[in-house]
Structures are given as C-alpha cells and as structure tokens.
Amino acid sequence: IRNHEGDYRCPDETVTRMLAEKIEESRDSNILHHFTFEDLDLASFSRYRNHFKSTKPDHPWNGEDHLEFLRLIGGWRRERETGNAGLTAAGLLMFGRYPEIREAFPFFMLDYQERPEARADSRWVDRVTPDGTWSGNLFDFYQIVIQRLVRDLKVPFRLTGDTRVDESPVHEALREALVNTLIHADYTGRASVLVVKRPDMFGFRNPGGLRLPVELAIQGGHTDCRNRLLQGMFRHVG
C-alpha cells in the first residue's frame, strides 16, 4: 500500500478484506454450510415476524411458514449450481444465537456504552454486550440499543395533520446511524461494533473501511452497502 513517502506491506487482514470484497458484491449472502434453522434464536425471529406483520399486515409473506419466510427475506438460500441450501451469513447475524454466530464469525462483538462524562476515558454507567441474558444477534441489539439512545431526548410538540408526531429529527438520525453501523460492518474484522452515548455526543464505530471514495461519501447520494441482505431485512420492518 502506498502511504505518502513510501510503499508498505499490507496487514493480512487488509489483503483478505480487499480480495473478499472484489469477489463478493455483498458480504452477507454466502451460505454457511452445516448451520441450520436450529442455530437461530426462535424468540428473536418471532419478534421480527411480529414487527413485519404489524408494519405490513396484508403482505402475502405473513402466511408462509418460518423457513419459507426466512428464505424470502434472504436468511436462507439455495445454490442453483450445486443444490446446496442453508442459512446465509445475514440470517445467522440477524437472528442467530451468540455462540453459534461466534463459530462463523470468531471476532463478532457488539458493544453499547453510556458514559456520564464528555471524556474518552470515562467509565460507562450502562452497557449492553452479549452476556448470556439476551440472544446477542443484530436484531435484538438494535431493539435494545435504540431505546437507550433515544431515552431522555426532548420531543417538541409537532402535528402532522391532526396527529401528534412523537419523534424529532434527532430520533430519526440516531435510528439511521445505528442501522447504518450494523449493515455496513465487516463482521470478519477484528474490531467490535461500538456505540457510545455521552452528554456531548453519540459515537458509532464498525469494522471495515469505506467501499466508496471519501469524497463521494461526504457528498452523499451514493451507496455501496457491504451487507445488502441485512439492509433489506431492516428495511422490511421500517
């Protein structure tokens, strides 16, 4: 890699990521062989289906059984060339149990920290990590963390027609930032997904570099999602 005044050897992890992202348009669509529906947390998956049904009560997918519904949203796939079928990476990351997710993604880690002071070294007063009290998957992490992020936010009185709107632009921005953190992460990377809430800021970090030039990312209107199936799964439930 060329870095200003010289050329340097890339770390192995950087080379592996570059090769993988050249081959795979979406990093979450590959089939995880020897993983089955039993590796999912059924309670998480059922909560997702309930959200889907409340968001789209008349959708024809609501009448499908669990496995077919999982296939339709991208969590289960069959390879036409080989006939192999199984969970996709997206299906396991979104709905799996933490020990099973770590089998496929050894460095997978989700971390939310609430810190009482505007300092990087401040100790946390509230934290969410996979500790055995919840599933440890992306869907449940989102559900838990979004509630903590928007807690204590002021909501100015606002009407749309005759209906009061109980969200502010900050609520919308936090929801967007949290979803983007999860769908653009490289879950083969060694860094954790980290979300921080402090009196002076909200911070979001995920493993994996930008897939777009920085100039285009800042300009906006351009996207190259690393995990397109995860993106679709979040979009399906609004």
What is the 8-class DSSP label of residue 39?
A: G
The pLDDT, as a whole number, for residue 2 is: 79
Would you give per-residue pLDDT tens digits along the chain (238 residues)? Answer: 877 778 888 877 777 766 666 655 667 999 998 999 999 999 999 999 999 999 999 999 999 999 999 999 999 998 888 888 899 999 999 999 999 999 999 999 999 999 999 988 889 999 999 999 999 999 999 999 999 999 988 877 676 677 766 778 899 999 999 999 999 999 998 899 999 999 999 999 999 888 778 888 888 777 788 899 999 999 999 8
The pLDDT, as a whole number, for residue 24 is: 56
The pLDDT, as a whole number, for residue 175 is: 95
Which residues face 126 on adjacent strands? 114
Contact assessment for residue 112 and residue 148, using Cβ atoms and an 8 Å cutoff:
yes
Least Cα distance to 77 among 60, 63, 91 occurs for: 91
Least Cα distance to 88 among 39, 128, 52, 145 occurs for: 39
Query: CA triplet 79, 84, 86: central angle to 5 degrees?
Result: 95
What is the number of residues in the chain?
238
**What dihedral angle (degrees, nearest 10) is formed by the CA atoms of 112, 41, 134, 103?**
-60
Q: Is 102 exposed, middle or buried (0-12, 13-18, 19+ CB in 10 A)?
A: middle
Which residues face 164 on adjacent strands? 159
The pLDDT, as a whole number, for residue 23 is: 53
